[in-house]
Amino acid sequence: MRHVILVRYGEISLKGLNRNYFIDLLAKNIRHALSHLESVKVRKVQGRIIVDIDDDELEEGLDRVTRVFGVVSVSPAVVIDSEWEVIETTLEEMIKPLEFETFRISARRANKNFPIHSDDIARKLGGTVLRAKEDVKVNLHEPEITFQVEVREETYLYFETIPGPGGLPVGCSGKTGLLLSGGIDSPVAGYMMAKRGLKPVAIYFHAFPYTSDRAKEKVITLARILSKYTGGFKLYVVPFTDLQLEIIENCPERQITILIRRYMARIAEEIARKEKLGSLTTGESLGQVASQTQESLLVTNEAADLPVFRPLIGLDKQEIVEIAQRIGTFETSILPYEDCCTIFVPKHPDTRPKLDLIKKSEEKIKDKADELIKKAVKDSEIIKIKPADA
Ligand code: ATP
Ligand code: MG
């Protein structure tokens, strides 16, 4: 008896997108998500993707496939010959360990050479279950368990449907520069934009020795966890110390946070040009800190040409924490290693920065800063993040 995972994708998500491109990309992403499992083969059939997988790898396979964006639901199924006796005895075996009081059989005969019609398959198999199990009843409307039988060239038999994450296959919307700090918010932001089909290129600003190597390791760990959902991606570790010190030594203290944001955006845009990124993504949420007021975001945006996506903008911290817990980044995010922005936080940050004053400060350090931006990009360490390492 062979096992497969039946993968369903949403028809709605196909709107406006080239259908075959979408399905091929989804199949490719599933293949990548399962590449560490030896028995796996991924193939397309009419309206579905099928993953052939050995029994002993099934659990791990299900765990991975149900993280792939674009997957609406999956069912672990057994594959058997399309012969009546085989179908009947397999179903009998299948129900043995299960406890239920009400059930229904849902049968579909796609293979018209099979001699029994769908309705009759359902009725006959209903009888099989009633004979094999005491005290169970048929309930067509609200059954506890539904046994599904799909008779094709081969027959699929299953009773479980596990929801997937939905969304669009990662990559179908292009690539985004994800500003990834070690905090709670930015990994969640990356997750949410990946759900809309954006592949991240992560960018971390590292202010060594003010931020330690442990802080960097934490970001790498977060990136690996995120890659279980997005597939592998590049992480730029940008040396940020010199530029940060240049700002701190020459500009008014209350402007430091917003100036740092603007230079982060500029460096991210340099990387975006190199990597052909169509947007930037941050974990900002309105009103959370001084740099996340409308006025501050206006001034930050002015430094960037690309659209800046902020998927958390309308979420409360608690809502963000819940997503972080669900996707598995929270525990790592709360490890206490310092962040470059928290080390240099001014006592009284400007919550309503004025663009002209900010520009005046930048004018003073322009030549040096331009040079440091180029140097930071050039000296960035590029780490290949792989989901298998998570
Ligand atoms: P997070 O929890 O994501 O760190 P936060 O609530 O601490 O966010 P800030 O520190 O103000 O908020 O950062 C806002 C956003 O700016 C972050 O979500 C992230 O996208 C980006 N960012 C901040 N610091 C860094 C950094 N060192 N490297 C890369 N991006 C950063
Ligand atoms: Mg932070």
129 with 195, same domain: the answer is no
Phi, psi of 245 (to 5 degrees): -65, -40
pLDDT per residue over 173-204, tens digit each?
Answer: 999 999 999 999 999 999 999 999 999 999 99
Q: Is the pLDDT of residue 14 over 80?
A: no
How is residue 60 written in tokens? 């791990």
Residue 170 lies in a domain: no
CA distance 209 to 322: 32
- Please give the average per-residue pLDDT across 115-123, as a whole number: 96
pLDDT number for residue 341: 55
Predicted confidence band of residue 11 (pLDDT cuts 50, 70, 90)? low
Q: Does ligand 1 come within 6 angstroms of the Cβ of 204?
A: yes
Q: Is the pLDDT of residue 36 over 70?
A: yes
**Last residue of one domain, picked from the residues 141, 163, 185:** 163
Q: Which ligand is located closest to the Cα atom of residue 291?
A: 1
Residue 99: count of CB within 10 angstroms of its CB: 9
Q: Is the pLDDT of residue 338 over 80?
A: no
Task: Please identify, by atom number, the ligand 1 atom nearest to the C-alpha of residue 179.
Answer: 30
- Please give the average per-residue pLDDT across 16-38, as a whole number: 89
Is 103 in contact with 145 (CB distance < 8 Å)?
Answer: yes
- Per the model's pLDDT, the better-predicted residue between 366 and 388 turns out to be 366
Q: Does ligand 1 come within 6 angstroms of the Cβ of 158?
A: no
**Last residue of one domain, picked from the residues 106, 140, 163:** 163
**Last residue of one domain, picked from the residues 163, 197, 220:** 163
Q: Does ligand 1 come within 6 angstroms of the Cβ of 233?
A: no
Nearest CA to ligand 1 atom 12: 284
Residue 33: count of CB within 10 angstroms of its CB: 28
Q: Which of 176, 178, 184, 185 to mutate for ligand 1's pocket (most ligand atoms within 8 Å of CB)?
A: 185
250 with 101, same domain: the answer is no
Q: Does ligand 1 come within 6 angstroms of the Cβ of 321?
A: no
Residue 28 lies in a domain: yes
Q: Does ligand 1 come within 6 angstroms of the Cβ of 289?
A: yes
100 with 232, same domain: the answer is no
Chain-wide mean pLDDT for the chain?
Answer: 93
What spacing in Å lies between the alpha carbon of 181 and ligand 2's midpoint?
A: 6
Nearest CA to ligand 1 atom 21: 179
What spacing in Å lies between the alpha carbon of 284 and ligand 1's midpoint?
A: 7
330 Rama class: left (phi>0) / alpha (psi -120 to 50) / beta: alpha
pLDDT per residue over 68-111, tens digit each?
Answer: 999 999 999 999 999 999 999 999 999 999 999 999 999 999 98
Q: Is the pLDDT of residue 288 over 60?
A: yes
Residue 328 lies in a domain: yes
CA angle (189 as vertex; 303, 291 as ends), nearest 5:
45
- Please give the average per-residue pLDDT across 234-259, as a whole number: 95
Residue 13 lies in a domain: yes
Q: Is the pLDDT of residue 17 over 90?
A: no
Predicted confidence band of residue 344 (pLDDT cuts 50, 70, 90)? low
Residue 351 lies in a domain: yes
144 with 200, same domain: the answer is no
- Please give the average per-residue pLDDT across 121-136, as a whole number: 95
304 with 227, same domain: the answer is yes
Predicted confidence band of residue 388 (pLDDT cuts 50, 70, 90)? low
108 with 205, same domain: the answer is no
148 with 73, same domain: the answer is yes
Residue 287 lies in a domain: yes
Entry pTM: 0.91
Q: Does ligand 1 come within 6 angstroms of the Cβ of 180?
A: yes
> Can you give the chain as a three-state secondary structure string?
CEEEEEEEECCHHHCCCCHHHHHHHHHHHHHHHCCCCCCCEEEEECCEEEEEECHHHHHHHHHHHCCCCCEEEEEEEEEEECCHHHHHHHHHHHHCCCCCCEEEEEEEECCCCCCCCHHHHHHHHHHHHHHHCCCCEECCCCCCEEEEEEECCEEEEECCCEECCCCECCCCCEEEEEECCCCCHHHHHHHHHHHECEEEEEEEEECCCCCCHHHHHHHHHHHHHHHHHHCCEEEEEEECHHHHHHHHHHCCHHHHHHHHHHHHHHHHHHHHHHHCCCEEECCCCCCCCHHHCHHHHHHHHHCCCCCEECCCCCCCHHHHHHHHHHHCCHHHHCCCCCCHHHHCCCCCCCCCCCHHHHHHHHHHHHHHHHHHHHHHHHCCEEEEECHHHC
Angle subtended by helix axes 294-302 and 256-275, to nearest 10: 40
129 with 226, same domain: the answer is no
| Residue 42, beta-bridge partner list | 51
124 with 179, same domain: the answer is no
Residue 238 lies in a domain: yes
Predicted confidence band of residue 348 (pLDDT cuts 50, 70, 90)? confident
Q: Is the pLDDT of residue 209 over 70?
A: yes
274 with 374, same domain: the answer is yes
84 with 193, same domain: the answer is no
CATH assignment of the domain containing 81? 3.30.2130.30
Domain that holds residue 385: 175-389
pLDDT number for residue 79: 95
CATH assignment of the domain containing 257? 3.40.50.620
Q: Which ligand is located closest to the Cα atom of residue 283?
A: 1
Lowest average pLDDT, out of 251-265, 313-327, 334-348, goes to 334-348
63 with 196, same domain: the answer is no
CA distance 293 to 215: 27
Predicted confidence band of residue 287 (pLDDT cuts 50, 70, 90)? confident
Tokens 């008014």, residue?
A: 252
What spacing in Å lies between the alpha carbon of 265 and ligand 1's midpoint?
A: 12
Q: Does ligand 1 come within 6 angstroms of the Cβ of 222?
A: no
- Please tell me the total count of domains within the chain: 2
Residue 230 lies in a domain: yes
Nearest CA to ligand 1 atom 26: 181
Q: Does ligand 1 come within 6 angstroms of the Cβ of 308?
A: no
Lowest average pLDDT, out of 42-46, 58-62, 65-69, 272-276, goes to 42-46
